[in-house]
Amino acid sequence: MPASKCIVLAERPTKDIDPARTFRQETREVGDPGEGEVLVKVMWLSLDPAMRGWLNDKRSYLPPVQIGETMRSGGLGVVAKAGEGVKLAVGDAVQCTPGWTEYAVLKAASCTKIILPPGTQVLDYLNTLGSPGMTAYFGLKDVGKLKAGEKLLVSGAAGAVGSLVCQLGVSMGAQVYAIAGQQEKCEWLEKELGVVKGLNYKAPDFRQQLKSIGYIDVYFDNVGGEILDMVLLQLNMHARIPFCGSISGYNGKPRPLQNYPNIIAMRATLQGFIVFDYAKQYEAARKELAEGLSSGAIKRKFHIVEGLEKCPEAVTMLFSGGNTGKLVVKVADVDETQARL
């Protein structure tokens, strides 16, 4: 069995991730897959803001990653060896949660075989057809209950989830406003994704810009903190806030909210959600999103970093605003003779 490079949690960060201290690289022997298991060779890893939360030793929707444990991570791989009683075959491409590693033994039941709809590519399974896509889809439709003609505001709009929320909002007939942290991101959101206006939260007149868009029906929030607090004063009656992430506070204490009593006056709803709860409805959503990709109606952008060892450094980009679009790490080239893609 191959020896596998992997990156493990060395020390829990109290604030920002320090790539050199928070993680360390190791080489570990990977065992043979047992009954119901597969050995997966990792091709791609997905880096997501939620990872920061998994490093904290506290109660959440998933258990914390333990010190010395391989860092949890979604990814795509190829089945290199299949144990007893497994339907997957060697060479099958799968979506799975291998962690930051070259090889992983995983329960076959936790791996989803990738069957590419026409007009899509394998990486879409970490983005539009994967967790970010499902998060955007169910957050906006089920939690946000967006209706045509409403005003939608999206934070973290140039990220994987946000950029899809923007596009879904436009396609649903909403007036979409998008918050990002760079002028180029704002321009991309306006010109490529069709939002009414991109708002740069680092601009000195951001507060004024935000006020000028008027009352908001749906605020799809990825960041929490100060921006959420401002938006709380700008809610329309019966506004909905699908509360998807609170990135601004992941690396330390979240900035407190002062204006929350306005939630009462405006009969607004701040609703947290975790995409896993919608797993039974993924297939229908994936079908719809795949059609959008295939027709070109849905655009996506990848920010690709090469090499497993780059994971610790790359993940910090999600908090500094370094990426536009979905951040992924290429771990290995696919051997096309092996992978059934």
Residue of 97, 269, 316, 338 that binds a second copy (CB under 8 A): 269
DSSP letters spanning 70-116: BPP--EEEEEEEE-TT----TTBEEEE---SBSEEEEEGGG-EE--P
Instruction: Check residue 254 for interaction with a second copy (CB under 8 A).
Output: yes
How many Cβ atoms sit within 10 Å of the Cβ of residue 111? 23
Residue of 172, 257, 332, 334 that binds a second copy (CB under 8 A): 257
Instruction: Check residue 4 for interaction with a second copy (CB under 8 A).
Output: no
Q: Give me the residues paired with residue 45 across strands.
A: 75, 329
Name the residue nearer to a second copy (CB basis): 136 or 290. 136
From the list 129-137, 158-166, 242-250, 303-311, the region that binds a second copy by CB under 8 A is 242-250
- Which residue carries 């780059």 as its tokens? 310
- Which residue carries 């704002």 as its tokens? 186
- The Cβ-side half-sphere exposure at 268, using a 13 Å CA radius, reads 26
Size of the site for a second copy (CB under 8 A): 31
Phi, psi (5° rounding) for residue 313?
-75, -45
Instruction: Check residue 64 for interaction with a second copy (CB under 8 A).
Output: no
Q: Which two tokens stand for residue 313?
A: 């450094």
Name the residue nearer to a second copy (CB basis): 52 or 330. 52
Q: What 3-state class would DSSP assign to 200?
A: strand
Instruction: Check residue 277 for interaction with a second copy (CB under 8 A).
Output: yes
Instruction: Check residue 252 for interaction with a second copy (CB under 8 A).
Output: no
Name the residue nearer to a second copy (CB basis): 120 or 246. 246
Name the residue nearer to a second copy (CB basis): 262 or 338. 262
Rounded Cα distance between 92 and 115, Å, is: 9
Instruction: Check residue 271 for interaction with a second copy (CB under 8 A).
Output: yes
Quote the least distance from Cβ 136 to a second copy, whole Å.
15
Interface residues with a second copy (CB under 8 A) are 53, 59-61, 224, 243-246, 249, 253-254, 256-258, 260-274, 277
